[in-house]
Amino acid sequence: MAIDKHSDSAIFRRGIWQDNPVLIQMLGLCPALAVTNTVKNSIAMGGATLFVLVCSSVLVSLVKNLIPSEVRISAYILIIATFVTLADMGLEAYVPEIHKALGAFIALIVVNCMILGRQEAFASKNTPRKALMDALGTGTGFMIALLMLGAIREIIGMGSFFGISLFGPNYAKWVVMILPPGGFLTLGGILLFIAWRESKRTEAAK
Amino acid sequence: MSDIEETTKPSTAIDDAPEEKSTSSFVMIATLGVAGLLAGLLLVVVDGITAPRIAKYRKQQQELAAKEVLGGEGRILRIEKFAFVDGSLVPITVDDTGQESPSTDSPIFRGYDANNVLLGYAFPGAEFGYADVIPIVIGYSPSTHSLLGMKVLGNKETPGLGDNIVNDEHFANQWPGKTAPLVQMKGNASLANEVDTISGATISSSAVIRGMNRAIELYKPAIDALESSDSQAAVSATKSEKEAG
């Protein structure tokens, strides 16, 4: 591969697939399982997380030299919590329906290990520009994973996509798919598929 | 991989943080203190912007739900708000600054149709469901002493099961004409005081019914008292044909 691994676009793309936070790194699984029963919820959760991740990464990268290393984790959490509260208030004021649907999970973005992980592993060691690209990539990757889960679960569990009915009123809804077990089943299925594809590829490379 | 290193490996342990000259406690406390102060300031500013919007939206939702249980927004011409103080209903007045007095989080609404005929009252209720408190609004007609409708305001009940209290049409539409105290049935409700729960959402739907009974018990005496005093006043003052409740 002739592409520069450190270029902005390479950093951006890495988070989307190669190092996808949910599907490859297995980070941020709690929201990924808990609120992905419809496409709408997935988009809202992905969007809120992306917002928090981008703002926190850029800010952490900007102030990285001002924070003594002993208290850096506390400082990151403080920064993340502030942006989460902003997102929480913003959603409640401007899109209250979605805020209602996501409930407590917005506040729990604070403890999404994916976000803290990016601060510690990347933003605190790189320039704001690179931190921005990394956060955008990781956040988009998170959103894509949530959308995959949300789409599969909503289509099977409710027979609809983004609230639009697909199969008519006679479709026997597979309710378990929008309940918590459906989250695990779907994630397991997706991971199985990815692992299977990966093993095919390494086999072919031999 | 590369020198912009990716550390998902456990190299994040505290002791390998870059180049140790130990920082004084004062600097640490000062750093976090300043950061906390800035974060607090930012939050206060944003809260100042969003809080009125959030409060306004809540009021709108309450009023919308009240109109719905009183027979649909189209039918309502005029709506009055009351606060529940010491067991009786006190009209809420709004002063020039938009401040309501007495102020209340859960106002009671009285709605009239286009001919200025009283439709009924809408008041709030709440009860613990399966996952969390289920807030509801109940529509009640003092002239017939029966229900007009009920609406679940929001719920965190299990999707696909408990949240059928919102989605199940039979459950949502069975209220008009029913009289309290309501008795729970399993799909064979026929008398005026019998209502059906939802199979598969028994806990959530019976919580709604319990919440309704409790709210009716709480507010009904106040509403009936206000109605009879109002209609007496109306009759003696104008000899209007207002129906005595």
Contact criterion met (CB < 8 Å) for B42 and A82:
yes
Whether the per-residue pLDDT at B77 is higher than 60: the answer is: yes
Rounded to a whole number, what is the distance in angstroms from the first to the last CA of chain B? 81
Say which residue the tokens 């902005």 belong to: A8
Segments making up each domain of chain A, as ranges: 8-150
If you compute the radius of gyration of chain B from its CA atoms, what whole number of angstroms results? 27
| Interatomic CA distance for residues B241 and A32, integer angstroms | 62
Whose tokens are 């976000």? That residue is A115
For all residues of chain A together, what is the average pLDDT? 88
Q: Span A11-34, mean pLDDT? A: 87
- Burial-class residue B239 by CB neighbours within 10 Å (0-12, 13-18, 19+): exposed
Tell me how far the alpha carbon of residue A202 is from its chain's centroid.
27
DSSP structure string for B63-76: HHHHHHHTT-GGGE
* ipTM entry: 0.76
Pairing of strands B108-113, B76-85: antiparallel
List of chain A residues whose C-beta atoms are within 8 Å of the C-beta of residue B57: 93, 96
Does residue B12 surpass a pLDDT of 60? no
The backbone torsions φ and ψ at residue B149, rounded to the nearest 5 degrees and listed phi first, read 175, 175
Average pLDDT over residues A120-149: 93
Tell me what the pLDDT averaged over chain B comes to: 82
| Chain B interface, best mutation among A25, A26, A67, A153, by max B CB count within 10 A | A67
- How far apart CA A157 and CA A159 sit, in angstroms, is 6
The predicted-structure confidence for A52-96, as pLDDT tens digits, reads as follows: 999 999 999 999 888 888 889 999 999 999 999 999 998 888 888
Among chain A residues, CA nearest to B26 = A68
Contact A175 B160 (CB under 8 A): yes
Over the stretch B189-204, which tens digit does the pLDDT of each residue have?
A: 888 889 999 988 899 9
- Which residue, B151, B159, B117, B112, is CA-closest to B134? B151
Q: Do B149 and B137 touch, CB atoms closer than 8 A?
A: no
Tokens standing for A56?
């926190």
Quote the percentage of chain B above a pLDDT of 90.
26
Q: In the predicted model, is pLDDT for residue B85 greater than 70?
A: yes
Which phi and psi (to 5°) does residue B194 adopt?
Answer: -105, 135
Query: Which of B67, B106, B110 is CA-nearest to residue B84?
Result: B106
Tell me: pLDDT of B23 over 90.
no
Does B159 contact A37 at a Cβ distance shorter than 8 Å? yes
Bond before A169 cis per omega within 30 degrees:
no
